[in-house]
């Protein structure tokens, strides 16, 4: 059921994902083609905000901070997982792997590799501050527009 808290959470986490995407792009080599990376992450952020954060609103300020941090963390984990699956699928189509379990293991290797690349102070600070901000505003929206 749509409500204001879900809408605010979706908009703010989507905006956070869009902003952080442009902080992540310079961390990778110039040979990487990103295409619509920021827009895909914004859509992922909208879905994460709606599903994860929106339904957990209304439990107090401390829970709102935790909700925001959890939303930013889920955005990061889902992003790492989706892009790692895409990388594995591209390599699997070129016959890089001997079997299915090797390909599945490669997903987690790519997740770890990408996580190390985005472990930048600017990216982490943006995710933490933006997540807290989104959690508090989601709580405010839940209290104001029930």
Evaluated on CA atoms 22, 130, 56, 70, the torsion sign reads positive
pLDDT band of 119, cuts 50, 70, 90: very high
- Distance in angstroms (rounded) separating the CA atoms of residues 129 and 73: 12
**Beta carbons of 134 and 71 less than 8 angstroms apart:** yes
Which structure tokens are listed for 93?
A: 């189509």
User: What share of the chain in percent tops pLDDT 90?
Assistant: 86
Q: Tens digits of per-residue pLDDT, 50-95?
A: 999 988 998 999 999 999 999 999 999 999 999 999 999 999 998 8
pLDDT given at position 9: 96
Contacts of 65 (CB under 8 A, 6+ apart): 132, 135, 136
pLDDT band of 131, cuts 50, 70, 90: very high
- Distance in angstroms (rounded) separating the CA atoms of residues 118 and 80: 10
Q: Tens digits of per-residue pLDDT, 32-42?
A: 889 999 999 99
**Beta carbons of 137 and 8 less than 8 angstroms apart:** yes
Over residues 87-114, mean pLDDT = 92
pLDDT given at position 51: 94
pLDDT given at position 145: 87
**Beta carbons of 141 and 7 less than 8 angstroms apart:** yes
State the alpha helices, DSSP H only, in the chain.
4-24, 37-48, 61-93, 100-117, 121-144
- pTM reported for the whole predicted model: 0.92
């Amino acid at each position: 059921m749509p409500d204001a808290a879900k809408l605010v959470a979706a908009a703010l986490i989507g905006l956070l994902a869009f902003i952080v995407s442009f902080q992540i792009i310079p961390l990778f080599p110039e040979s990487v083609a990103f295409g619509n990376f920021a827009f895909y992450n914004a859509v992922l952020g909208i879905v994460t905000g709606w599903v994860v954060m929106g339904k957990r609103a209304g439990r107090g300020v401390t829970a709102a901070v935790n909700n925001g941090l959890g939303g930013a963390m889920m955005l990061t984990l889902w992003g790492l997982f989706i892009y790692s699956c895409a990388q594995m699928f591209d390599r699997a189509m070129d016959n890089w792997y001997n079997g299915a379990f090797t390909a599945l293991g490669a997903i987690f290797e790519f997740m770890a590799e990408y996580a190390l690349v985005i472990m930048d102070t600017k990216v982490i600070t943006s995710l933490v501050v933006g997540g807290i901000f989104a959690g508090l505003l989601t709580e405010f929206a839940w209290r104001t527009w029930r």
